[in-house]
Chains A and B, each alone.
Chain A
Amino acid sequence: MRDKVLISRRAFTAGVALLGLGGNGARAQGFAGLGITAEGFSPVIPGKTFAFPEDHGPHPDYRIEWWYVTANLADTTGVAYGAQWTLFRLASRPGAQQEGWANQQIWMGHAAVTRADTHRYSEAFARGGIGQAGVDPKPFRAWIDAWEMRGSDRTRDHTIAPLELTASGADFSYALRLDTDRALVLQGDAGYSKKSERGQASYYFSQPYFKATGSIAIDDKPVEVTGQAWMDREWSTQPLASDQTGWDWFSLHLSSGEKLMLFRLRQTDGNNYASGSWILSDGKTEQIASADIDMVPKTLTDLAGRKIPVGWQISIPRLALSIESVALNTKSWMGTSFPYWEGPISFKGSHAGVGYLEMTGY
């Protein structure tokens, strides 16, 4: 039963962490407790017509949703940095939105910065209905506590740019400006992203073309940085298949200008369900089927008592792609309420570039 509510990629994190608040390690029970079936929420079905700015805002009829930004950056001397900004929304029960504290939305934020020698992270929680966290579609604004992703009058609906991105923890902070003139990219089948062969899916679009500039401060020492950033927007209701235990997710910026999104959902039977999108520099996308993707863990590292595959061999023969990825910092461990690995990577081989890797369920 428990695994039924493994909803999708990052929502897994959200769901468990929020219930983890219940304390005494009752993660499994708590998880099941929340696991009220998806009944009452809207199902994810193919053929949705996306509309902006509305779809930049929350979709409370769906159970889970996130606004996810990762950035690969470098300072003026070439030192590489990574930055992560995430806002999760989780509806604790379906139905009309309640006012004030009775509101059923729970919000969670994760923020992190990574350098080869250090990884800093922080998390925040909030309940909906009172203004501590939320998302407004126009002018675009997503926030939790003092963390914010904010658009302005100049922000266009089809690019969701420019944006100001800020977050801070006890020992780090950053402020980035994200801009692009490229349109958003619908993932999967026109924004319908399948998560298994059995109908589990989500609505999913991305903005992989952001140029980022700004500053990152670690221990109050600010540095100016520039680089590229990737935003993922995803919402869903339907759980993952009951036998899917975790995932490995890549968002890659190729130096040739293309973008590649890849994920692999691991199953208890040892098989995986993989999927991906090849995004051309003109914004055209090409779906990559599970059978075409070969993802093999190469380097394992011990972190928090787990073996984490921080180095990968990826090949997609159909695209004549064969690369090996290495982590900027193998200790990019998010020791949040529900822990996972997320950090910047670089790769070379048939193609070269930088990107972000997220791995959960280890």
Chain B
Amino acid sequence: MTRIIWILAVLLSHWRRHPMQLATLLIGLISATALWSGVQALNQQARDSYDRAAATFGGARTAMLVGRNGATFPQQLFVDLRRAGWPVSPVVEGRIQIGGRSLRLLGIEPVTLPAEVGNAPTIGRTGLQSFVTPPGEMLVAPETLSDLDLTEGTAPSASDGTLLPPLRVQAQLVPGVLVVDIGIAQRLLKMPDQLSRLLVGKAKGKRVPLENVVGDRLQLVEPDAESDLERLTDSFHLNLTAFGLLSFVVGLFIVNSAIGLAFEQRLPMLRTLRACGVSARMLNVVLVVELVSLALVAGVIGLICGYLIAASLLPDVAASLRGLYGAQIPGQLTLKGEWWIAGIVISIVGALAAATTSLAKAIRLPVLATAQPYAWQQAQHRWLIFQSALALAVLAAAAGILWYGDSLISGFAVLAALLLGAALGLPAIVEVVLSFSQRSAHRAVAVWFWADARQQLSGLSLALMALLLALAVNVGVSTMVETFSRTFSGWLDGRLAADVYLIASDDTQATEIKAWLRQRPEVEAMLPSGRAETQIGGEPIEILGLSDHATYRDHWPLLQSTANAWIRLRPGDTGLISEQLARRLKLAIGDRIEVPAPGGNWTLEVVGIYADYGNPKGQIAVNIDALTRRFPAIPQTRLALRVAPAAAPALISSLQSKFGLDGRNLVDQATLKAESTRIFNRTFAVTAALNTFTLGVAGVALLTSLLTLGNSRLPQLAPLWAIGITRRRLAAIELLKTMSVALITTLLALPLGLLVAWCLIAVVNVKAFGWRLPFHIFPLQLLELVGVAMAAALLAALIPVLKLARMQPANLVKIFADER
């Protein structure tokens, strides 16, 4: 035991003499752990809240009985089912507005609520009594309470003036949901004796067949392990995970080179220890102990950094998820114990993986080491051939997945294989370029320059691979984001062609507003619209009713359409469908679609396909009159106005003062556009942030590799110095060499990055979101990235080069005396 401690002390003394090396090793491990766990924390946070949502009174986790076509149904069916032995509990759901915010109001019945309904909130400490007795209590998540800027115990008023029950905080509740007793909810939602659905608990005894009790008025929806939100947001989380994994791998590159360097430098020490009688096994055990301890320390620091990263990205992630999918994620990060353990484990596993080669060498270390073989070139040649073959195989696999794969996972698999293949192939390509340059060089120093660059390649290749990956992903992601933002703003211009948009609080107010607007000369057109919801193939579908007006005919962007598509909408037997829906249901122009409607199925012929970016639901656009005929119950409260732009602000303020409308339900085109653009920019803010992190980590990888090489290269440089090349010149040559290798890598990264962008746009986006963007290349952006990469390489090369330029001649002379 004491022996182990002594050996460990000897080994650790190395780090005391090389603190910089220790720092790089720790930085590598810390950044790998931090980015990986940061991303995991974000994903976990989001998943937890989906779980909360799914478990909230008839989320996807509970079996439910719902009305045909999703309509509400009479309460008597609940009583009838209970009397027939069905362990059901009623829920009524609707929306109410508080302070301009629209919130989901759930009415539950605590006495029959099945115990197994996930996190059914305990009904306040004050008990059942105060929850069910009017005025009752309104349970609210702490996040929503602070969003509303209200305090617990106050009884807020809804926007229509109704006094609501006093608020009571319930920590497990999903944000954006208010829970009240069913009787109170029916009154607030003006749905007397109506129910939205029934939760089905565990059967307690025999139950009469459903049809015998309710006929075909209700249908049973079996519980679903994966909620809609989880399905919708899968792509987003996969995206984050992919970035986390990439950063982790890049971080491990750093660890690998730092450990490699330490091992190289400790070779004499290890040999001495072996010569002193330490067995190879013991030595290896101690090396592993040392590594694991370092990984533990780095893991803990990495986790703290990961927490900070996650906490700083969380607002953007939450905004993205809300903007894209309507998912409510609490802004406060909560982490489970598993997260900490997983983070430490990943740090240790990563460190061990990165150290495998070095440890394997230590095992086979002969007691009396012979001189290092100089057959590096041959060895490298064999290695390059093997690695290139592997690269080709991986690239072939990428092509294969691209050809046969048809899912989001396969999209990411293509991306991963593409990047891995390119990274593996990189050393071979650089080698080809360098050997070509060597052959075309004539002056001795130039020939040496290229030859030496080739010799350096094996040491640098991992760092270069990291740089290639980081750059390619960077190019890919920024191209996609830029493409998206251009396409989106053009699309938004066409989509938001009217000048003012308003939603009346109810049909009566809508009628009043319309009558009032008819008197206003500045209003050029009133375009009522409406929305209905239904389900096709178990997925929610929106049906949008549009007025028959030139505003839409001239501006609404259609991706494909038949001739006179807009004219053909008029009779009500045709529809335009969103790109997402077309892809999901594999529909093309001319196909027919069966839409469940209250009076029976509505058959629509597809006459056009339009882009509907940012909408997780499929959408069908039809003529508004046809929609109200088929869905008579939909509120006719939405109105778009064409107004002379100069007159818009005045009209808005008169509407506001006359009808009490606010920013939530009355908005002009410019504000709406700005708001939409803001949401979409935030959507990619996280991607951009992770992108920058990855590039930073790649820079550190390059720096540590160069530091590693810097020391081991003295034997090669000393002879050149000895034959008269000054240290300054040597340093300049070294710098040039690094820069040219980095440039070659960067130039290779550009086409690879564009390929990644194509993959993201044409494969991943289509699978993840259901839309395909036109592919654009942005040369200026690429140029900028080359600049950034070269600057990173310059920064990374600067320290070793400056060290070389200022090196004491005595050190260079010593090379000839040293055993190396």
Is the Cβ of A146 less than 8 Å from the Cβ of B129?
no
Closest-CB distance, B386 to chain A (whole angstroms): 64
- A19 interface hit (Cβ, 8 Å): yes
- A300 interface hit (Cβ, 8 Å): no
Is the Cβ of B206 less than 8 Å from the Cβ of A127?
no
Closest-CB distance, B87 to chain A (whole angstroms): 8
- A33 interface hit (Cβ, 8 Å): yes
Closest-CB distance, A215 to chain B (whole angstroms): 14
A206 to B134, CA, bound (A): 37
- A276 interface hit (Cβ, 8 Å): no
Query: Interface code A136-180, partner B: CB below 8 Å = 1, 0 otherwise?
Result: 000000010110000000000000000000001110010000000
Is the Cβ of B79 less than 8 Å from the Cβ of A170?
no
A72 to B123, CA, bound (A): 39
A101-B181, A130-B75 given as contacts; is B127 within 8 A of A22 (CB)?
A: yes
A34-B129, A127-B109 given as contacts; is B85 within 8 A of A146 (CB)?
A: yes
Is the Cβ of A101 less than 8 Å from the Cβ of B183?
yes
A21-B123, A22-B128, A130-B75 given as contacts; is B133 within 8 A of A173 (CB)?
A: no
A29 to B129, CA, bound (A): 12
Residue of B nearest to A144 (CB): B82
Report B-chain residues with C-beta under 8 Å of the C-beta of A33. 126-127, 129-130
Is the Cβ of A126 less than 8 Å from the Cβ of B127?
no
Report A-chain residues with C-beta under 8 Å of the C-beta of B130. 33
Is the Cβ of A170 less than 8 Å from the Cβ of B205?
yes
Closest-CB distance, A22 to chain B (whole angstroms): 4
Is the Cβ of A146 less than 8 Å from the Cβ of B205?
yes
- A122 interface hit (Cβ, 8 Å): yes
Report A-chain residues with C-beta under 8 Å of the C-beta of B184. 101
A301 to B297, CA, bound (A): 57
A170 to B87, CA, bound (A): 11
Closest-CB distance, A228 to chain B (whole angstroms): 25
A169 to B204, CA, bound (A): 5
Is the Cβ of B112 less than 8 Å from the Cβ of A125?
yes
Residue of A nearest to B122 (CB): A23
- A212 interface hit (Cβ, 8 Å): no
Is the Cβ of B205 less than 8 Å from the Cβ of A92?
no
- A106 interface hit (Cβ, 8 Å): yes
Is the Cβ of B126 less than 8 Å from the Cβ of A168?
no
Is the Cβ of B123 less than 8 Å from the Cβ of A145?
no
Report B-chain residues with C-beta under 8 Å of the C-beta of A321. none
A154 to B205, CA, bound (A): 29
Closest-CB distance, B92 to chain A (whole angstroms): 10
- B193 interface hit (Cβ, 8 Å): yes
Query: Interface code B111-131, partner A: CB below 8 Å = 1, 0 otherwise?
Result: 110000000001111111110
Given B125, B128, B183, which contacts A102 in the complex, CB threshold below 8 Å? B183
Closest-CB distance, A143 to chain B (whole angstroms): 7
Closest-CB distance, A345 to chain B (whole angstroms): 27
- B618 interface hit (Cβ, 8 Å): no
Report B-chain residues with C-beta under 8 Å of the C-beta of A34. 127, 129
- A331 interface hit (Cβ, 8 Å): no
- A289 interface hit (Cβ, 8 Å): no
Is the Cβ of B75 less than 8 Å from the Cβ of A19?
no
Q: How many residues of A contact B (CB 8 A)?
A: 33
A324 to B498, CA, bound (A): 90
Is the Cβ of B125 less than 8 Å from the Cβ of A132?
no
Report B-chain residues with C-beta under 8 Å of the C-beta of A127. 109, 111-112, 132
Given B78, B83, B128, which contacts A146 in the complex, CB threshold below 8 Å? B83
Report B-chain residues with C-beta under 8 Å of the C-beta of A125. 111-112
- A40 interface hit (Cβ, 8 Å): no
Is the Cβ of B83 less than 8 Å from the Cβ of A132?
yes
Is the Cβ of B133 less than 8 Å from the Cβ of A18?
no
- Sort chain B's interface into a size bin: 35 or more
- A93 interface hit (Cβ, 8 Å): yes
A30-B127, A102-B134 given as contacts; is B85 within 8 A of A22 (CB)?
A: no
Is the Cβ of B122 less than 8 Å from the Cβ of A168?
no
Query: Interface code B169-203, partner A: CB below 8 Å = 1, 0 otherwise?
Result: 00000000000011110100000110000000011
- A100 interface hit (Cβ, 8 Å): yes
Which residues of B in the span 591-629 have a Cβ within 8 Å of any Cβ on A? none
Is the Cβ of A23 less than 8 Å from the Cβ of B82?
no
Residue of A nearest to B207 (CB): A146
- B8 interface hit (Cβ, 8 Å): no
A132 to B205, CA, bound (A): 16
- B306 interface hit (Cβ, 8 Å): no
Closest-CB distance, A129 to chain B (whole angstroms): 8
Report A-chain residues with C-beta under 8 Å of the C-beta of B75. 130
Report A-chain residues with C-beta under 8 Å of the C-beta of B133. 92-93, 102, 104
- A26 interface hit (Cβ, 8 Å): yes
Residue of A nearest to B110 (CB): A21
A26-B125, A101-B183, A127-B132 given as contacts; is B83 within 8 A of A143 (CB)?
A: yes
- A131 interface hit (Cβ, 8 Å): yes
Query: Interface code B222-251, partner A: CB below 8 Å = 1, 0 otherwise?
Result: 000000000000000000000000000000
- B688 interface hit (Cβ, 8 Å): no
Report A-chain residues with C-beta under 8 Å of the C-beta of B110. 21
Report A-chain residues with C-beta under 8 Å of the C-beta of B183. 100-102
Residue of A nearest to B131 (CB): A22
Query: Interface code B659-679, partner A: CB below 8 Å = 1, 0 otherwise?
Result: 000000000000000000000
Given A18, A101, A106, A131, which contacts B186 in the complex, CB threshold below 8 Å? A101
- A24 interface hit (Cβ, 8 Å): yes
A143 to B184, CA, bound (A): 25
Which residues of A in the span 66-95 have a Cβ within 8 Å of any Cβ on B? 92-93
Which residues of A in the span 1-51 have a Cβ within 8 Å of any Cβ on B? 18-19, 21-24, 26, 29-30, 33-34
Residue of A nearest to B181 (CB): A101
Closest-CB distance, B186 to chain A (whole angstroms): 7
A130 to B186, CA, bound (A): 13
Residue of B nearest to A148 (CB): B83
- B773 interface hit (Cβ, 8 Å): no
The 4 closest A-B pairs by CB, nearest first: A101-B183, A168-B205, A23-B122, A146-B85
**Residue contacts A-B, CB under 8 angstroms, 29 given:** A18-B128, A19-B129, A21-B111, A22-B122, A22-B123, A22-B125, A26-B127, A33-B126, A92-B128, A92-B129, A92-B133, A100-B192, A100-B193, A101-B132, A102-B183, A106-B128, A122-B205, A125-B112, A126-B111, A127-B132, A132-B78, A132-B79, A132-B82, A145-B85, A146-B85, A146-B207, A168-B205, A169-B205, A170-B205
Seen from chain B, the residues whose Cβ lies within 8 Å of a Cβ on chain A are 75-76, 78-79, 82-85, 109-112, 122-130, 132-134, 181-184, 186, 192-193, 202-207
Knowing that A29-B127, A33-B126, A127-B111 are A-B contacts, what are 17 other residue pairs whose CB atoms are under 8 Å apart, sorted by A's residue number?
A: A18-B111, A21-B111, A24-B125, A30-B128, A33-B129, A92-B129, A92-B133, A101-B186, A104-B133, A127-B112, A132-B83, A143-B83, A145-B82, A145-B85, A146-B84, A170-B204, A173-B206
